[in-house]
Amino acid sequence: MKLRRKIGLMLAIMLSFSLVPSFARLTGEVVQASEFQYSWMSNIVKVSNDSELKLGSAPVVTIKEDFGVWEKDHSIYLTVSNSEWADTIFDDDVIDVRDRDGKVVVSETGEKLFHITRDGTRTIAITKKTSEDVPFMLRIPMLVNIDDRAKDDIVLKIEGESTGVRDAEHVFATVSDSKINIRFNEKDDMVKFATRGTTLNPIRIEENFVGALKKGDQIKFDISRDFEWNNDYTTGPAISIRGGADGVFSLKYDRRKSDETVMVVEVDNIDSNRTRRISFEINDLNIITEERNSTDYGKVEVNISGKDIEDKSIIVAEYVDYGAESSVKEKGEFFSGRKITLPVITLQESVRDSVRFDRPIDIDFPQWVNVIGIKSAKLDGVDVTTEFEEGFDLNKERLDKEGKDKEIVYSGTVRFEPKSTSKAIKLEVEFIIETKANAKGDIDVEFSGRAFDKSDIVQTVGNVKPVIEVTADKTNLNVGFKDQKVGNIYIKETEKDAIQKGYMLIQIDDFMHGRWDKEPVVKVTEGDIRIGEIKLIDNETLSIEIRSTSRKLSTIEISEVIMTTNRAVADGVYDINVFGNAIIDKGLQGSDWEKGYDSPYITIGEQYEEKEKISFVIGQSIYTAGEEKINMDAAPYIDENGRTMVPVRYVAEAIGVLQQNILWSDRTVTIFTPKNQIVQVKIDTPIITINGASIQMDTQAVINDNRTYLPISWIARVLDIPYTWEGNTKTVTFN
């Protein structure tokens, strides 16, 4: 052996142990050649038992010899599992020999470079017959016959012996139990229909391996109960071929072997010598309901089967009622008093024409929501943002020159002229809103109007919660006194990082004849929110600077509050109110919507008495106030309209009004409430007024046994006082 060959062999051995990664077994994917790889398989194919891999469709193994150490008359051995080498492997030109640059190598002397011989049924020997020392690559097609009992992977084993070629194993085929594979995406390809029939989307069928389908093979399509094939639409022209040339492959719809629920498609002609897998689509398949009025709504299933075909069921359609549904990907959680971009709302027809988009569509929000913009709106991909902006009158100014609310836009009406389409339409819209300060609850969007033949649609897109909770130690103040100490005020975040950087402002509502005497003490009692400058503005407004937001839930306490009242201050209850850009967004400032964080704080005069629960029992002249039982000089009764009637003096007890604040004049009862409301009821009329606004009752006040009786449920209703009725004990209870 020449010295160069010895050195080359040593290098090959060294590289085989130090540089070459293990490629002993490849499964499931094509692996490209690399600098250190000795052999690789072009691809892995699916096969059936007792099939043959032919030239043109068989995988190709490439064997790389990089060092020129393979000597003449030395052999490598290729052994296959679960198969035998076909006779075609011995053809003279079956081995492709190339150099390291990929160029075909031809012997200058005309001698045969390599020779293939059989070494048993599963093994062939490839022997070098030339003395050329140049490195080369062999490309050998896997021309084998698959065993009739083959299972799992079909593997090639390479043994290099003394040639310098590295031993290796490669999967080149896997055994499939089914001739065909069904391609149908149920999510995207399934159709919905409400009429008696519909046309299905194409069902694609692919050979799992070359030669899987043969002349006479049948594929059966069995449709689920209550539906049948519309045979007038399943004739030959409904089937189109993909992946094969004309004349190579054809199908026919066999009426003789089909009925209303089972359609049989038969392979009519096919080229048995083809080298490519065939795929085709069944198009324009039309189905109908067996009985239009008795078929239940639901999924339509098709089972596909045949000889040597694995049964597969696919959902091809859904029979539905006319209608639409709405959805959002993820509901949002928001703070009230802030600008909010809602998640995209999708309104999807169940079937075509479920919604008449060319008719008015009314879209309503809760009245504590103000729609201030439309970020985007699309109708089947077409931009309809302008239609929404016009429908909600968003071109109008929301605030007047003084910054007061001019118009709240919480509902709108839109209509469209959608392009003619054969599919169900989808509307996607993204609203920009703001909510009233201290608003709380679900943001429900209601779609209604003449566009909807069925019921209205309500979609919850998110939930809002207050930024803070405001509580205060209630204090009674005297009229016309200076330096009166008032209780503490507590401002607690509902969630960390809820209060923004900026200024928090505190006022006492409608307290025109009173003032703060000096700056109180402001401190953080819980959490880590940072406050800055504390300033009293015109003795009316306390300003607290928020320098940084919190990382822990925080509480701010305002203490040592000193106030003055003059003699013009009116009796009543005055609320503390917290607002400012640390609490609400700028767009709400100056409007009625900014004042929502309040709590009862100051009481001037003795306008009412606080009572516990008050209960009256029909027919009994004793009522209960908390734990105390009190005698009455007349008993409650139920009138002919089913309303509970209570003597007027005891109505005062139920609603917390002092006797001197209930007046009788000109057959009219007038009640002055703790919140400066005026309620009037005229005897023998069904009208009750509150602050001048008239409300029709379904009964009336009366004089009975020289006692004035009022319908107490109506009094409680107009004053928003909670009450309950217990029918078993005939008891009405007021809180």
Predicted pLDDT at 447: 93
SS3 state at 244: coil
Give the helix/strand (H/E) hosting 655: helix 648-655
- 44: containing domain: 3-175
Both 245 and 388 in one domain: the answer is: no
80-136: pLDDT as tens digits: 999 999 999 988 788 888 887 778 887 766 677 889 999 988 999 999 888 877 778
In this structure, what token pair is assigned to residue 677?
């409301």
Confidence of residue 494 (pLDDT cuts 50, 70, 90): very high
140: tokens are 């050998």
Residue 400 is predicted with a pLDDT of 57
**Is 232 found in the same domain as 262?**
yes
| Tokens linked to 318 | 């859904």
Beta partners for 313? 303
58 shares its domain with 158: yes
Asked if residue 96 belongs to a domain, the reply is yes
Q: Exposed, middle or buried by CB within 10 Å (0-12, 13-18, 19+), for 588?
A: buried
709 and 677, same structural domain? yes
| DSSP label of 499 | S
Q: For residue 694, count other CB atoms closer than 10 A to its CB.
A: 9
Domain termination site, one of 586, 604, 622? 604
- Of residues 15 and 660, more confidently modeled: 660
pLDDT at 700: 92
pLDDT over 90 (residue 542): yes
Please give the tally of structural domains in the chain: 5
| Domain presence at residue 198 | yes
Q: Are residues 273 and 364 in the same domain?
A: no
Helix residue spans in 351-409 (DSSP H):
385-391
Give buried/exposed letters for 596-616 (b at 16+ CB in 10 A, else e): bbbbebbbbeebbeebeebbb
**Residue where a domain terminates, one of 287, 319, 351:** 319
β partners of residue 124: 78, 118
Does 15 score more than 70 pLDDT?
A: no
Whether residue 59 is found in the same domain as residue 186: no
Which band of pLDDT confidence, cut at 50, 70 and 90, is reported for residue 31? very low
- Coil/strand/helix, residue 191: strand
Q: Domain check: are 485 and 518 in the same one?
A: yes
Does residue 600 sit in the same domain as residue 620? no
Rounded Cα gap, residues 338 and 341, in angstroms: 10
Helix and strand counts by DSSP (H, E) for the chain = 5, 63
Dist. CA 593–CA 602, nearest whole Å: 22
State whether 625 and 709 are in the same domain.
Answer: yes
User: Which of the pair, 72 or 259, is modelled with greater confidence?
Assistant: 72
Contacts of 563 (CB under 8 A, 6+ apart): 477, 484, 486, 514, 515, 516, 517, 602
Q: Of 63-67, 139-143, 378-382, 433-437, which range is least confident?
A: 63-67
Give the DSSP letter of residue 153. E
Q: Is residue 294 part of a domain?
A: yes
**Please, which residues have CB within 8 angstroms of residue 313's CB and are 6 or more apart in sequence?**
301, 302, 303, 304
Residue type, 181: N
Residue 308: per-residue pLDDT: 85
Question: 314-324: per-residue pLDDT in tens?
Answer: 999 998 888 88
**What's the CATH number where 477 sits?**
2.60.40
Tokens of 43: 């691809």
Shared domain for 666 and 541, answered yes or no, is no
Which tokens in the block code for residue 24? 């002993």
In a domain, 566, yes or no: yes
Same domain, 514 and 479: yes
Q: Read off the pTM.
A: 0.53
Question: DSSP letters of 397-426?
Answer: -SB-TTS-B-----EEEE---PPP-SS--E
Same domain, 597 and 652: no
Tell me which of 114-128, 242-256, 663-677, 714-728 is least confident.
242-256
- Rounded to the nearest integer, the mean pLDDT of the chain is 82
pLDDT band at 724 (very low <50, low <70, confident <90, very high): confident
* Mean pLDDT within 368-395: 89
Query: How buried is residue 84: exposed, middle or buried, by Cβ count under 10 Å (0-12/13-18/19+)?
Result: middle
Residue 463 covered by a domain = no
Identity of the highest mean pLDDT range in 30-34, 333-337, 391-395: 333-337
Residue 516 burial (CB < 10 Å; 0-12/13-18/19+)?
buried
Instruction: Pick the last residue of a domain from 431, 458, 485.
Output: 458
pLDDT in tens, 500-520: 999 999 999 888 878 898 999
CB-count burial class (<10 Å; 0-12, 13-18, 19+) for 352:
middle
pLDDT of residue 257: 57
> Cβ distance 573 to 602 under 8 Å?
yes
Greater confidence (640 vs 105) lies with 640
- 44-58 pLDDT, tens per residue? 988 888 788 888 889
The answer, yes or no, to whether residue 547 has pLDDT greater than 90, is yes
As a whole number of angstroms, the distance between CA 186 and CA 192 comes to 11
> Within a domain: residue 25?
yes
Q: Is position 711 within any domain?
A: yes
CA 577/CA 558 separation, integer angstroms: 13
Considering only residues 628 and 100, tell me which one the structure prediction assigns the higher pLDDT. Answer: 628
Evaluate whether residue 609 is within a structural domain. no
List of residues 6+ apart from 202 with CB closer than 8 A: 189, 281, 282, 283
Q: Are 603 and 474 in contact (CB under 8 A)?
A: yes
Retrieve residue 197's tokens. Answer: 């029939």
